[in-house]
Amino acid sequence: MEQPNQSYCRGSQDKTLLAMTIGQAFDRTAAQYAEGEALVVRHQQRRYTWRQLAETVDLHARAFLALGMQTGDRLGIWAPNCAEWLICQVASAKLGVILVNINPAYRRSELDYVLKQSGCQWLVCAGSFKTSDYHAMVQALKPDLRGLISLDSSPPPEFVPWSQLSALGAGVPAEQLHSRQASLHVDQPVNIQYTSGTTGFPKGATLSHHNILNNGYMVGESLGLTAQDRLVIPVPLYHCFGMVMGNLGCITHGTTMIYPNDGFDPLLTLSAVAEEKATGLYGVPTMFIAMLDHPRRAEFQLSSLRTGIMAGATCPIEVMRRVIHELHMGEVQIAYGMTETSPVSLQTGADDDIERRVTTVGRTQPQLETKIIDDAGNTVARGVIGELCTRGYSVMLGYWNNPEGTREAIDDAGWMHTGDLATMDEQGYVCIAGRNKDMIIRGGENVYPRELEEFFFTHPAVADVQIIGIPDERYGEEIVAWIRFHPGHVANELELLSWCKDRIAHFKTPRHFKFVDEFPMTVTGKIQKFRMREISIEELREQST
């Protein structure tokens, strides 16, 4: 029972959870809105009605059966936003195949780790994206997989071209797909998403049909999505933001999904909103700022917009005002969550005032519970800072093949410990006061210093390294690496940047380097990262004046 003075809140029980698999929910929507527009992929110049999308999904699911994919197999997908990403997402879900999301910015060592840790048997990948040659990286790794599928029209011989899958699928009876789909249940794992680990290596958050289907549904309910809505999704599909809040939010409501490009481009996103008469738009604050400040924004008629979600970082009040007035998004909402909670656990409402939308992350989502606790595990009073915890349908099954990490994150009572510091007010609105460890959020991407520090330790010249985040107007935060070299060794900034280029994702690469003989420490020998932040901010300020 809720105690009014305690930081505990139970979300509304008015909305019923969906007791179905992703495949069942997709089929229901496709039947209900068969001739409605389901998907628009502007950079590929493709459009699908729900009927056409369902036919394509089923054909490719049958092709996966022809290749021998079994329930519980892991299928990696390493590609930017495209029609094939969504087709893989739904087709694999219909077979009980677990989709492993791989960040398109990953380099060889990161790809190698994820494929091995998840035990991937299959990989679907693009030929290339931006500066990444996916085929070359896969060929260099020679991963132990049962099959490779390429989205490229003429891939190397060891890859099956995506274009051949239709013929493969045509040879498998539809009854075989229906039989497999009917054998699945809602609590089976359907997705593994890697979240940068505080202990150095990413952990694979394992999510079920029940987890992510219902989270997409509840987010869509809060936005008031219907089959008349058209949602522009410029955020990456490999994140929960794109594939759950975007794709599954639309699938559960018959809403049209619109991908403006393979990666975020402010001009192409504005163009998609205007030309497709979109009613909703997703993004992190840096994306909205880039669109608002684009020199050609005034050319586009954006008045069809009404709603959307801003997430991934705190939104400055001036940006929120501009989104509401200049982008016509009067019902824009803020969402908070983490991959381990499918992702959203708190969300503002369409009628919350602007103050609530910039100072809080909203209230507890329907069918979930949140509480804020002290170090001893006791629920704190309202207004008191403590650790935010979430419990309910959205909490992951666990970290893939990592029982110890799972036990550290989810307690015996089923509470997911977020590691974020927060307060809860009398109305149940939650304000995030600080973050787990020293996590950096750069342009909506989570970067854990420990993971980066362990990476830099592999450089032959580096004796010690400390990674910190400092404020940045464009990305919210930027990464600074403090480095101490081994005696007799040295490397300059250019050499370190070049070394990072083919080994780690671009968003993890430090923007600034500082070479030191020692780090600021307490008398007991503990590193003072707060002092390092102060020094870095001051030195960069002096350089810019």
pLDDT at 476 over 50: yes
Mean per-residue pLDDT for 13-30? 98
Q: How confident is the model at residue 179 (pLDDT cuts 50, 70, 90)?
A: very high
Residue 525 pLDDT: 57
pLDDT at 199 over 50: no
Q: H-type helices in 296-441, by residue range? A: 317-326, 354-359, 403-409
321 and 448 fall within a common domain: no
In order, the DSSP letters of 165-178 are HHHHHHTS-HHHHH
Mean per-residue pLDDT for 516-543? 84
pLDDT at 95 over 90: yes
Length of the chain: 545
183/168 Cα distance (integer angstroms): 22
Q: Could you tell me if 147 and 122 are in contact, meaning their C-beta atoms sit under 8 angstroms apart? A: yes
Greatest CA separation for the chain: 72
Burial zone of 170 (CB within 10 Å; 0-12 exposed, 13-18 middle, 19+ buried): exposed
90 and 179 fall within a common domain: yes
**Who contacts 184 (Cβ-Cβ below 8 Å, separation ≥6)?**
21, 23, 71, 96, 209
Phi-psi region of 247 (alpha: psi -120 to 50; beta: other; left: phi over 0): alpha
473 and 412 fall within a common domain: no
pLDDT, tens digit (0-9, with 9 covering 90-100), for 281-313: 999 887 998 899 899 999 999 999 999 999 876
Mean per-residue pLDDT for 34-41? 98
More reliable by pLDDT, 4 or 317: 317
346/189 Cα distance (integer angstroms): 23
185 and 287 fall within a common domain: yes
Q: How confident is the model at residue 198 (pLDDT cuts 50, 70, 90)?
A: very low
**How far, rounded to the nearest angstrom, does the alpha carbon of residue 176 sit from its chain's CA centroid?**
33
In order, the DSSP letters of 224-238 are T--TT-EEE--S-TT
241/247 Cα distance (integer angstroms): 9
pLDDT at 157 over 60: yes
Tally of domains within the chain: 2
pLDDT, tens digit (0-9, with 9 covering 90-100), for 204-245: 999 999 999 999 999 999 999 999 999 999 999 999 999 999
Q: Is there a domain that residue 432 lies in?
A: no
Q: Is there a domain that residue 435 lies in?
A: no
**Who contacts 494 (Cβ-Cβ below 8 Å, separation ≥6)?**
none
pLDDT at 171 over 70: yes
Residue 513 pLDDT: 97
Phi-psi region of 108 (alpha: psi -120 to 50; beta: other; left: phi over 0): alpha
Residue 202 pLDDT: 87
pLDDT, tens digit (0-9, with 9 covering 90-100), for 379-398: 999 999 889 999 999 999 99
Q: How confident is the model at residue 363 (pLDDT cuts 50, 70, 90)?
A: very high
Helix (H, G, I), strand (E, B) or coil at 213: helix
335 and 458 fall within a common domain: no
Q: Is there a domain that residue 99 lies in?
A: yes
459 and 402 fall within a common domain: no
pLDDT at 176 over 80: yes
What CATH number does residue 332 fall under? 3.40.50.12780
* pTM of the entire predicted model: 0.85
The percent of residues in the chain predicted with pLDDT above 70, rounded, is: 96
pLDDT at 364 over 90: yes
Q: How confident is the model at residue 526 (pLDDT cuts 50, 70, 90)?
A: low
Which structural domain, as residue segments, surrounds residue 142? Answer: 8-420
Q: Is there a domain that residue 1 lies in?
A: no
Q: Which pairing describes strands 398-399 and 256-259: parallel, antiparallel, or unpaired?
A: unpaired
301/395 Cα distance (integer angstroms): 40
Least confident of 114-123, 200-209, 257-266, 269-278: 200-209
Closest CA to 285 of 334, 240, 237, 250: 334
Q: Could you tell me if 162 and 150 are in contact, meaning their C-beta atoms sit under 8 angstroms apart? A: yes
Mean per-residue pLDDT for 455-471? 89
Bond into 234 cis (ω within 30): no
Q: Is there a domain that residue 428 lies in?
A: no
163 and 310 fall within a common domain: yes
Task: Tell me which amino acid residue 199 is.
Answer: T
Burial zone of 531 (CB within 10 Å; 0-12 exposed, 13-18 middle, 19+ buried): middle
196/469 Cα distance (integer angstroms): 15
Q: Is there a domain that residue 434 lies in?
A: no
Q: How confident is the model at residue 278 (pLDDT cuts 50, 70, 90)?
A: very high
397 and 291 fall within a common domain: yes
Mean per-residue pLDDT for 108-113? 93
Q: Is there a domain that residue 233 lies in?
A: yes
Residue 2 pLDDT: 58
Least confident of 64-68, 90-94, 165-169, 442-446: 442-446
Residue 508 pLDDT: 94
DSSP letter assigned to residue 298 = G
352 and 453 fall within a common domain: no
What CATH number does residue 476 fall under? 3.30.300.30
324 and 471 fall within a common domain: no
Angle at 45 between CA 43 and CA 46, to 5 degrees: 115
411 and 454 fall within a common domain: no
Q: Is there a domain that residue 87 lies in?
A: yes
Three-state secondary structure along 53-116? HHHHHHHHHHHHHHHCCCCCCEEEEECCCCHHHHHHHHHHHHHCCEEEECCCCCCHHHHHHHHH
403 and 454 fall within a common domain: no
